Amino acid sequence: MQWSDIQQNWRAMIPAIQGRWPDVAEEDLIALSGDRDEVIATVAGATGETPAEIGRQMEDWQQGPMPADAYADPTHDEAAARDSERYLPDGEDVYSGDDRFGDDDVADRPMGRRD
């Protein structure tokens, strides 16, 4: 993750920060804007470690994947839809029908019916 991603999705990152540094109070994190130096100072104050050590830990933490809460934030929907094209097999058209599944001529079963 880039720090710009963390700052842009700051509210969604708070649970991940608390998961890594559980001594940090949620209200202290909510009060921040996501600025890296602010976050390091707040985490260092809560854990009793030096800001330099927390900075190194933050760099390690940043190497991991973006937390699901941040990735699934509705502000990412447009990019996710645009990126979904790369999951299609070669030659597949994004607008092609699903007739290859063979059930286009079969009426859907009414809700709640099992037969």
Q: What is the pLDDT of residue 95?
A: 67
H helices of 1-115, in order, are: 3-8, 10-20, 26-30, 36-47, 51-62, 68-71, 77-83
Domain boundary assignment for the chain: 3-80
Task: Determine contact, residues 31/14, Cβ cutoff 8 Å.
Answer: no
Q: What is the pLDDT of residue 100?
A: 63
Q: What is the pLDDT of residue 115?
A: 65
Token pair belonging to 107: 């009426």
Q: What is the pLDDT of residue 90?
A: 75
**pLDDT of 73-105, one tens digit each?**
776 677 777 777 777 777 776 666 666 666 667
What is the mean pLDDT for each group of 10 consecutive residues in the chain (115 residues)? 88 90 95 95 96 95 82 72 75 66 71 72
Among candidates 105, 96, 13, 103, which has minimal Cα distance to 62?
13
Q: What is the pLDDT of residue 50?
A: 96
Amino acid at 50: T
pTM of the predicted protein model: 0.63
